[in-house]
Amino acid sequence: VNRGVEYRCVNLIPFKTIWMYLSTHALSDGNKILNLAGNVLIFVPLGFYLSVFSHRIHLVLRVFILLAVPVLVEVLQYVFKTGASDVDDVILNFLGGLLGMLVCWLAECIYRRWHKNKNLKLFSFGSHKK
C-alpha cells in the first residue's frame, strides 16, 4: 500500500527551529506566527483540563504529563514517518500546557476575589465542596 511520501527528520538541538523561524526572511510572518503560536496554543487546553479535572493529582505529576504528551507525539511522528520530530515542538507544546494551567489558576483567583471568598471553587465537579 502506497501511503504517499514518507518524511522523517529529527532535530534534537533546543531552540534551533524556533530561532530559524524568528530569524529567517524566507517565510512570511503569517507562516512564522502560525507555526510558533500554533504549537503553543494546541496544548493550552490540555494544561487547562489537567488543572480543572485533576485536583487530586499532584502538581508535579500534572507537569510531567504536560511534558510526556508532546514527547510521545514527537516519537510517534518519527516512528510513523509523518513529519519532523523536533525538540522545539516539545518545548512550545509544553509552554502551551503551562499557559493553560496558568489561565485556569488565574480564572480561579479572579473568581475567588470577585466573590470575596478564598475557599470558593470556580471549577467544582462531583463531591468537591465549595
Mean local confidence (pLDDT), 4-33: 88
Statement: residue 4 has pLDDT above 70: no
Residue-wise pLDDT tens digits, 55-97: 788 999 999 999 999 999 999 999 999 889 999 999 999 999 9
Q: What's the whole-number average pLDDT of the chain?
A: 89
The CA distance from 39 to 3, in Å, is 25
Name the percent of the chain lying above pLDDT 70: 92
The CA distance from 19 to 1, in Å, is 38
Predicted structure pTM score: 0.85
The strand pairing partners of 10, in sequence order, are: 85
